Amino acid sequence: MVVRRYRVCVMRSGRFPPDRSHDLCFGCWPISNTTTVKLIHVASFVLQTVSLGFQWPTVDPFLFCVHHVDDYPAGNERFGPAASLAGRQIGQDFEGVDGWRMYHGDEVPGFPQHPHRGFETVTYVRQGLIDHSDSMGASARFGRGDVQWLTAGGGVVHSEMFPLLDQQSGNPAELFQIWMNLPRVDKMVEPHFSMLWDGDIPRLVSADASGNQTVVTVIAGTLEGLAPPSPPPHSWAARPESDVAIWHVRIEPGGSWVMPAARFTDTVRTLYVFEGASLEIGGEHIPESTGAAVRCDEPVTLSSTAGVEVLVLQGRPIGEPVAQYGPFVMNDRAGIEQAFSDYQLTGFGGWPWPSDGPVHGNSRDRFARRPDGTVERPSPSHVEAGAP
């Protein structure tokens, strides 16, 4: 097999037809201009691979993906770390000293108030809790398998703080944050967020011939008759023709699972191996901390001798120009300049909270409070299919 190396480039617009799949380009923001990818012969299921750093390369309609893993220490009475912050660049702490980061927080880890326009954030929390507050007056505490799906649309300001509630032992946190673009027609819709509580998110449980299980958490996109809660109404994923899927796949040691084909020939599917020694895709070896763009025009067998966890991002490209500057994603420079102007004039509704990074008390209960005061709480149990 011939493998050539190329610099990473950003796919700004357009779709690649099946007979030009070698033109596929990973894009991410930001990305090192020295990162290399491998392009594989088109007869292979694996079209392209890229090594994963802190921020993962993505392909249209996705803009950005980060896997946050922080081994936070015990908390203090202010919900921050009961540990010295000396030597950290407070306000911009991304170095991972001692296995954890404060990010933009100065007392509690996380991301105090910041604006967004023109895209969506999908936040999937595996461990720990996140406190959400926004310019609509809404708030939430979610985690432990929950997903928050936020359409920024025409503009929203929100904060995402990671309160450390346990004062006796550590507060491990693990989450994925995924940015997905909005098409031009939906970039200025009213902001909206949906909560996909852990108990409402379906899991496919599949056993191979040897009895080894694969569990697939279905966050977006139907899978073998399972359908998760609906995304926000103006999401690209809300369009049936978008073929968007977000799946978390966990394969037991020695296990295998046949991943079905996508619905359309121009759907783009990327697998991110984030935990475990390696993954076999149609017999091709993919090491840990690797992203692989794959053919999805027919089913393919995924397997792992030692066990593996994989995040799958899939969708048909929106195929429009992308202009991005920090928290704003539009179609051209004029749109970015307008976003800055509007934010300076309106604050996207202003900030109704007494601090830039509110924390919602010491209760471990999860909730979502809507702008109208309505309160949602999570369902108690998982929805699974295929379990013995």
What pLDDT, in 10s, does the model give residues 329-345? 999 999 999 999 999 99
- The CATH number assigned to the domain holding 52 equals 2.60.120.10
In a domain, 70, yes or no: yes
What's the CA gap between 298 and 178, in Å, rounded?
26
Q: Tell me: do 41 and 10 sit in the same domain.
A: yes
In a domain, 328, yes or no: yes
Please tell me the predicted confidence (pLDDT) of residue 43: 63
Question: In the predicted model, is pLDDT for residue 51 greater than 60?
Answer: yes
Q: Tell me: do 126 and 18 sit in the same domain.
A: no
In a domain, 387, yes or no: no
Q: Tell me: do 194 and 207 sit in the same domain.
A: no
Range with lowest mean pLDDT among 63-67, 96-100, 283-287, 383-387: 383-387
Q: Tell me: do 113 and 30 sit in the same domain.
A: no
Question: In the predicted model, is pLDDT for residue 387 greater than 90?
Answer: no
The last residue of one of the domains, among 315, 348, 368, is: 315
Please tell me the predicted confidence (pLDDT) of residue 280: 97
Please report, for residues 54, 226, 276, 308, the alpha-carbon distance to residue 272 in angstroms, rounded to integers and kept in the order given. 12, 22, 11, 11
Q: Tell me: do 304 and 263 sit in the same domain.
A: yes
Q: Tell me: do 182 and 206 sit in the same domain.
A: no
Q: Among residues 321, 353, 357, 327, which one has the least CA distance to residue 340? A: 327
The last residue of one of the domains, among 315, 337, 370, is: 315
Question: In the predicted model, is pLDDT for residue 324 greater than 70?
Answer: yes
Please tell me the predicted confidence (pLDDT) of residue 57: 96
Question: In the predicted model, is pLDDT for residue 278 greater than 70?
Answer: yes
In a domain, 388, yes or no: no
The last residue of one of the domains, among 315, 337, 365, is: 315
Listed in sequence order, the residues at least 6 apart from 284 whose beta carbon sits closer than 8 Å to its beta carbon are 40, 44, 45, 46
Residue 6 neighbours by CB distance under 10 Å: 12
Q: Tell me: do 270 and 257 sit in the same domain.
A: yes
In a domain, 260, yes or no: yes
Q: Tell me: do 235 and 289 sit in the same domain.
A: yes
Q: Among residues 288, 279, 222, which one has the least CA distance to residue 255? A: 279
In a domain, 386, yes or no: no
Please tell me the predicted confidence (pLDDT) of residue 105: 98
Tokens of 113: 């108030």
Domains in the chain, number? 2
What's the CA gap between 302 and 257, in Å, rounded?
5
Bridge-based pairing of strands 202-207 and 383-385 is parallel
Question: CA torsion angle for 215, 282, 239, 290 (degrees, to 10)?
Answer: 80
In a domain, 275, yes or no: yes
Ramachandran assignment for 234, one of left (phi > 0), alpha (psi -120 to 50 degrees), beta (any other): alpha
In a domain, 385, yes or no: no
What's the CA gap between 300 and 226, in Å, rounded?
19
Give the chain's count of helices (H) and strands (E): 1, 28
**In b/e form, how buried is each residue of 201-229, taking b as 16+ CB within 10 angstroms?**
bbbbebebeeebbbbbbbbbbebeebebb
What pLDDT, in 10s, does the model give residues 65-117? 999 999 999 999 999 999 999 999 999 999 999 999 999 999 999 999 999 99
Q: Tell me: do 130 and 169 sit in the same domain.
A: yes
What's the CA gap between 205 and 347, in Å, rounded?
46
Q: Tell me: do 251 and 289 sit in the same domain.
A: yes
Average pLDDT over every residue of 17-42: 40
Q: Tell me: do 273 and 210 sit in the same domain.
A: yes
Q: Tell me: do 179 and 76 sit in the same domain.
A: yes
What pLDDT, in 10s, does the model give residues 162-207? 999 999 999 999 999 999 999 999 999 999 999 999 999 999 999 9
What pTM does this model have?
0.88
Q: In terms of residue numbers, what domain contains 228? A: 4-61+201-315
